[in-house]
Amino acid sequence: MTAMRTSPSASVKLAGFTVAVAAVFAASYGVARAVAPDGLAGRSSGGHSMAPGMEMGEPEAGHGGAHGDEPAPGPSAATAPGLAVADTGYRFVAEATTLASGPATPFRFRIDGPDGSPLQRYEALHERELHLIVVRRDLTGFQHVHPTRGADGTWSITLDLRQGGTWRAFADFAPSGGPTQLTLGVDLQVAGAFVPGTAPAAAAPTDASLAVAFDRRGDDVGVTVRRDGVAVEPEPYLGARGHLVALRAGDLAYLHVHPQEGGAPAVRFMAELPTSGTYALFFDYQVGGVVHTAATTTEVR
């Protein structure tokens, strides 16, 4: 077979055509990324309340920042938990997404599995099959509750929805034989007048002697509980000395972290907040047999 010869001018034209095609492909890829669906990626059954006296330490620069052209670490927008209603075949299905306002509004939902039927088998996550986090989109009204699952796989709970507006419900669970853990979210429209709040708003405390101080240094978050000015160690609650939920303002990307060993009486968490922005931190803890929730906001630069 005779090899084909290409003149110098033809080579230049061919090279130019190749560059042009590559540029069009790159531009198309950028557009596809831009329009891809985003998110594919208090109180409890014991009664939560916000603790007074909350303080926040000055944050340091985050650990492991970007070097050169490398992306910063942490979940991407496509993988941040809580932004999607469905993932890997599992779907958060609320019986109703428009609810009446009130202090004890019924809420029923199910988790549908890959076969389309309600999920019936769960792995326990910190002593519960499913944790339900509910918060208004202005980051007020935080609730961490544990609904009851019926024989048909439907979960039910009453929520404190006295304020109208758009709320976000997060189902945190691990299906048996499926992913290790999933967090799915759905918006709830609550009837009533909407008055924006200051995030995070504190509920009336149940124990005025308690005060909580937050100290964030990069990814390390320390929380100290004091009673009448004396540091106390929180009692075990759901298998740990405390639980920390971080929600990113704007899209409510969700991060649920558990404490590290040691450091008592303070409770320390390694919370890798994924991007710059404002985050609300909600700390569930138990003292004197009563579960409380303290909250603050922090800026990640």
Whether 41 shows a pLDDT value over 90: the answer reads: no
pLDDT one-digit tens code per residue, 195-219? 888 777 656 557 888 999 999 998 8
pLDDT one-digit tens code per residue, 114-162? 999 999 999 999 899 999 999 999 999 999 999 999 999 999 999 999 9
Q: Which domains does the chain have, with CATH numbers?
A: 55-64+199-300 (2.60.40.1220), 86-190 (2.60.40.1930)
The pLDDT of residue 207 is 81
The pLDDT of residue 204 is 52
Dist. CA 122–CA 91, nearest whole Å: 14
The pLDDT of residue 301 is 86
CB atoms within 10 A of CB 108: 14
DSSP codes, 237-293 = BTTBS-EEEEEETTT--EEEE-PPS--TTSEEEE----SSEEEEEEEEEEETTEEEE
**Segment 178-188 mean pLDDT:** 94
Per residue, what are the HEC states of 119-157?
Answer: CCCEECECCECEEEEEEECCCCCCEEECCEECCCCEEEE
pLDDT one-digit tens code per residue, 45-90? 333 444 433 444 433 333 333 333 333 334 444 468 999 999 999 9
Whether 165 shows a pLDDT value over 70: the answer reads: yes
What is the enclosing helix (H) or strand (E) of 21? Answer: helix 8-35
